[in-house]
Structure 1
Amino acid sequence: MKYFVDFQHHHAGSPRPSDDGPAAPIEFDPSEASAIVPNVGDYVQLLALGGNAAQFSGKVSSRLFRYFVSEDGVQSVQVNVVVKDTEDDWGQLVKE
């Protein structure tokens, strides 16, 4: 089974996440690697270390899981994680 995790940014004051599609897609095969999918309420920072990747931070407001099987029988799960802007003080979350 293949897994795809997409992170979308939900700007403060906006009624829904940005329409620019998957902002930070991650694909992994559990036989080769693992990934941690954040829960609702978790804080997330997406940092761009080069290129044109999206960069934003906030609190996970929702997750949507889509399960599908392709014509050739490959099973996949697509997880959409919405990260909403927050006014929370990030300095209180962790001591670096």
Structure 2
Amino acid sequence: MKYGFNFQVMRDGDARPLDEGSAVFFEEAELTQPHLIPNVGDFVQATAVAGEDSHTITGRVVTRFFAYHSKDGSEHVNFCTINMVLEPADDFDWSKLIKE
């Protein structure tokens, strides 16, 4: 099964994640083991690079939604998209998580 990870940001006070400009998508190969899926409460920094442009989102995971897709009669078409919503963690001292 292949996995895709979609990270979205939900601002404080909003009922749902932002519709545009906040999603970062990653795809993981079937052979990658173990699959590194953040848990609710984990801190995440996700960066997508397209050419010279990059887009980074950071935050704490508040929800995870798993959507499974399958196609009969073909190999390697099972896919799971995991949508994770991040809340801003501006009040947290990120330097406590990692020393660069």
TM-score category by the smaller chain? 0.7 to 0.9
Give CA deviations for 1:20-62 in whole Å, capped at 9, x if unaligned.
277111112222x344111000001123556444312110001
Instruction: Point out the structure with the larger strand share.
Output: 2
Q: TM-score, normalization: structure 2?
A: 0.76
Residues 1-96 of structure 1 aligned to structure 2 (within 5 Å): 1-20=1-20, 23-31=23-31, 33-34=32-33, 35-48=35-48, 51-73=52-74, 74-86=77-89, 87-96=91-100
**Does structure 2 conserve the Cα–Cα contact (< 8 Å) formed by 1:48 and 1:55?**
yes
1:91 maps to amino acid: S
**Does structure 2 conserve the Cα–Cα contact (< 8 Å) formed by 1:2 and 1:76?**
yes
**Does structure 2 conserve the Cα–Cα contact (< 8 Å) formed by 1:41 and 1:60?**
yes
Query: Do the aligned partners of residues 76 and 48 (structure 1) sit closer, same or farther apart at CA in structure 2, a change above 3 Å counting?
Result: closer
- The whole-number CA distance in structure 1 between the counterparts of 2:22 and 2:73 is 25
Q: TM-score, normalization: structure 1?
A: 0.79
Segments of structure 2 that go 5 or more residues without pairing to the other structure are none
| Structure 1 segments of 4+ aligned residues over 6 angstroms from their partners | none
Percent pairwise identity? 36
Aligned residues: 95
1:60 maps to amino acid: V
Q: Secondary structure at the match of 1:13?
A: coil
